[in-house]
Amino acid sequence: MAMIHLEPQTLEMFSRALDGLKPPPNLSLSQWADKYRKLSAEASASQGQWNTDAAPFQREIMDAIGDVHIRKVVAMMCAQAGKTEGLILNTIGFYMSYHPASIMVMQPTVNLGESFSKDRLTPMLRDTPALRGLVNTKSRYSGNTISKKNFPGGMLVIVGANAPTDLRSRPIKVLLADEVDAYKASAGKEGDPVMLAEERQTTFWDYKTVMVSTPTTKAASRILDEFNNSTQEEWTVPCPNCGFYQPFVWDNMVFDKEKWPDGGVQYRCAECGCLDNEYRWKKGSVKGKWVAEHPERSVRGFHMNKMGSTLCGWDEIVTKFIAADLDAARGDYEKMQVFVNTNLGLPWEEPGETMESAALIDRREYYEAEVPDGVIYLTAGVDTQDNRFEIEVVGWGIGKESWGIRYQRIYGDLKRGQIWADLDEFLSQTWKKKDGTELSLRSVCMDSGGHFPDQVIRFCKEREDRHIWAIKGRGGMDVPYIRNPTKNNRVKGELFTLGVDTGKNMVLARLKVLIKGPNYCHFPAAEDAGYNENYFKMLTAEHKVTRWKGGRKVERWELKDPAQKRNEAFDVRNYATAALEISNPQGLEVPGEDAPRPAKQQHQYRRRRSGGI
């Protein structure tokens, strides 16, 4: 092979010429920002070179956005976590200068899009040398307007989610949807703005969707839905004392509400229990890492709250909480919603579902007979106490409209036979309509919790043919109302596990119906029916409250007033409702309303039962 000899200065010349042609070094998005991005004085608190170490939690999110293998990145974030600078502007700069592509930035409205362009984007394009020459800022020719910037290899359009015609631009590869929870559900008649924009991405195999938002209310939160379908990553830092990695949660912020700001705020480690100050905890941020609930999923989703943000202090958070808490104690939840959204970075849900007894007492009515004509099916619930049974007979009509028929207590010693015989007699009797028709109980649920589980299950086992079922309550909002029964008990009788909290939700929802018809609850005024003032106090003794546990919302049923401990009426109505759901008679369904359990399971069970009878 012939060797060509070149003088050293010639080699150097070639090498310099080749430098201009070499592909750029393989930078991640955060590395690009650390190398090239400059912060503008008017747009951010700190000026000059971008430094990801100032907000280490942004690194992984940025790099996920810049990763060519990832199609969608979702960030549900508190305020003051550098969303716009870190996730939107850095991404724009990265794609403009490093991976040229067509980019769409979507803001909630056209006006917000314009101020984003003028106040945030223009300063970045001016102050970041790597971007400065890309857009012709001198003349306002068509390649450079407020809503559109042409640059070599691509273009950037800035649209408002409220202007559907702007969404029908040419294909886009990178969609940056900012503050998505502030988008109206549909952009006029044209449909969902995010979906419209995503339709423009279909021609690219390596398209990228980035959704960023502070969440709003749970019912209307798009960012929550997106986050729930993602890897669900939380920012964790090590404890300064034991080194255990954990996310910051509100419950572990320790401060004295009464004396604030005296005493300051500290954070309690979830592992070792030690208290330490903000400086020491946040020093660990450089070693922080994201931990995914669902690492197997392809959409990367990040949730960030302010406690972990290195861009603002804990004092400010606590001060805001105390103001919000003061209002909330008076029943005004406006500030608390803002606090939960912008500080915890979580969606808000209305607290404390409740029902007042007075409203229900007033709705009592005189029936024309023991059982009104609308009733076609009778069920009962039985609560088992140490010295008595509390029983309610409930009549059901079309659309599960219900009529309270009788609230009855039977007293006695549960260790002796008499009270059980009395109960059997009560459950055996028939109930009269105006025309003389007599209805008997078609299905009964009896609580086996308490001190007599074996006796209850045996009592029910002997009366399976009368559809008297033993149940055992299980708490938790996600426990299904009815599950197929098991015989896994000493008596080997069928025992249903009842999702009591799910049932309470259903009972309360029905009690709240104000118009007679489907799901409405009637109560009798006749004195011997047993629906006195005390009954309604018991029926409404609990309310559903929202508690924050580990930074997450936990709902549960609690007694409203610790002095009003009796709540049997609520439980018993729950059991009578379960009895209806278990027997699931045809012809009562509310049109369009789903049964509370999968139909398939129901059928399996019904087949098995009828085979045995």
| 459-462 long-range contacts, CB within 8 A, separation 24+ | 459/420, 459/423, 459/424, 460/493, 460/494, 461/491, 461/492, 461/493, 461/494
**Least CB distance to Zn ion at residue 272 (A):** 3
Question: How distant, in Å, are the alpha carbons of 142, 184, 213, 340, 590 from that of 163?
Answer: 20, 11, 19, 30, 40
Which of the stretches 139-147, 271-279, 340-348, 563-571 binds Zn ion when contact is defined by CB under 5 A?
271-279
| Chain centre distance of CA 109 | 26
Structural contact between residues 214 and 179, judged by C-beta atoms closer than 8 angstroms? yes
Return the number of the residue (280 or 434) whose C-beta is nearest Zn ion.
Answer: 280
Q: Which of 28, 109, 150, 241 binds Zn ion (CB under 5 A)?
A: 241
- What part of residues 560-599 is at the interface with Zn ion (CB under 5 A)? none
Question: What is the rounded distance in angstroms from the CA atom of residue 208 to the CA atom of residue 172?
Answer: 9
Q: Which of 55, 65, 76, 269 binds Zn ion (CB under 5 A)?
A: 269
Helix (H) or strand (E) holding 112: helix 110-115
Q: Which of 11, 45, 272, 559 binds Zn ion (CB under 5 A)?
A: 272
Which of the stretches 233-241, 319-327, 583-591, 602-610 binds Zn ion when contact is defined by CB under 5 A?
233-241
Return the number of the residue (32 or 235) whose C-beta is nearest Zn ion.
Answer: 235
- Tell me if 275 contacts Zn ion by CB under 5 A: no
Which of the stretches 52-60, 261-269, 307-315, 579-587 binds Zn ion when contact is defined by CB under 5 A?
261-269
Return the number of the residue (272 or 554) whose C-beta is nearest Zn ion.
Answer: 272
**Least CB distance to Zn ion at residue 273 (A):** 7
Using a 10 angstrom Cβ sphere, with 0-12 exposed, 13-18 middle and 19 or more buried, the burial of residue 436 is exposed
Using a 10 angstrom Cβ sphere, with 0-12 exposed, 13-18 middle and 19 or more buried, the burial of residue 426 is middle
Helix (H) or strand (E) holding 91: helix 90-97
Which of the stretches 27-35, 231-239, 544-552, 601-609 binds Zn ion when contact is defined by CB under 5 A?
231-239
Q: Which of 114, 190, 271, 315 binds Zn ion (CB under 5 A)?
A: 271
- What part of residues 1-60 is at the interface with Zn ion (CB under 5 A)? none
Instruction: Specify the DSSP class assigned to residue 117.
Output: I
Which of the stretches 239-247, 480-488, 498-506, 517-525 binds Zn ion when contact is defined by CB under 5 A?
239-247
Return the number of the residue (242 or 559) whose C-beta is nearest Zn ion.
Answer: 242
The residues with which 443 forms a beta bridge, in sequence order, are: 379
Return the number of the residue (240 or 480) whose C-beta is nearest Zn ion.
Answer: 240
**Least CB distance to Zn ion at residue 269 (A):** 3
**Least CB distance to Zn ion at residue 239 (A):** 3
| Chain centre distance of CA 408 | 40
**Least CB distance to Zn ion at residue 268 (A):** 9
Question: How distant, in Å, are the alpha carbons of 454, 501, 578 from that of 497?
Answer: 15, 12, 10
**Least CB distance to Zn ion at residue 284 (A):** 11
Question: What is the rounded distance in angstroms from the CA atom of residue 114 to the CA atom of residue 441?
Answer: 68
**Number of chain residues interacting with Zn ion (CB under 5 A):** 7
Q: Which of 61, 77, 135, 239 binds Zn ion (CB under 5 A)?
A: 239
**Least CB distance to Zn ion at residue 252 (A):** 11
Return the number of the residue (282 or 543) whose C-beta is nearest Zn ion.
Answer: 282
Residue ranges of alpha helices (H) inside 269-416 are 278-283, 314-329, 334-342, 357-361
Structural contact between residues 521 and 364, judged by C-beta atoms closer than 8 angstroms? no
Structural contact between residues 46 and 136, judged by C-beta atoms closer than 8 angstroms? no
Question: What is the rounded distance in angstroms from the CA atom of residue 204 to the CA atom of residue 607?
Answer: 52
Phi/psi of residue 246, nearest 5 degrees: -155, 150
**Least CB distance to Zn ion at residue 241 (A):** 5
Q: How many helices (H) and strands (E) does the chain have?
A: 20, 26
Beta strands 233-238 and 300-304: pairing type?
A: parallel
Which of the stretches 262-270, 367-375, 553-561, 570-578 binds Zn ion when contact is defined by CB under 5 A?
262-270
Q: Which of 41, 242, 326, 525 binds Zn ion (CB under 5 A)?
A: 242
**Least CB distance to Zn ion at residue 270 (A):** 8
**Least CB distance to Zn ion at residue 235 (A):** 17
**Least CB distance to Zn ion at residue 552 (A):** 20
Return the number of the residue (41 or 242) whose C-beta is nearest Zn ion.
Answer: 242
Return the number of the residue (268 or 552) whose C-beta is nearest Zn ion.
Answer: 268
**Least CB distance to Zn ion at residue 271 (A):** 5
Return the number of the residue (449 or 550) whose C-beta is nearest Zn ion.
Answer: 550
Closest CA to 175 of 65, 80, 298, 62: 65
Which of the stretches 272-280, 406-414, 473-481, 500-508 binds Zn ion when contact is defined by CB under 5 A?
272-280
Beta carbons within 8 Å of 611's beta carbon, 6+ residues apart:
none
Which of the stretches 66-74, 237-245, 400-408, 530-538 binds Zn ion when contact is defined by CB under 5 A?
237-245
Structural contact between residues 215 and 346, judged by C-beta atoms closer than 8 angstroms? yes
Residues engaged in binding Zn ion (CB under 5 A): 239, 241-242, 244, 269, 271-272
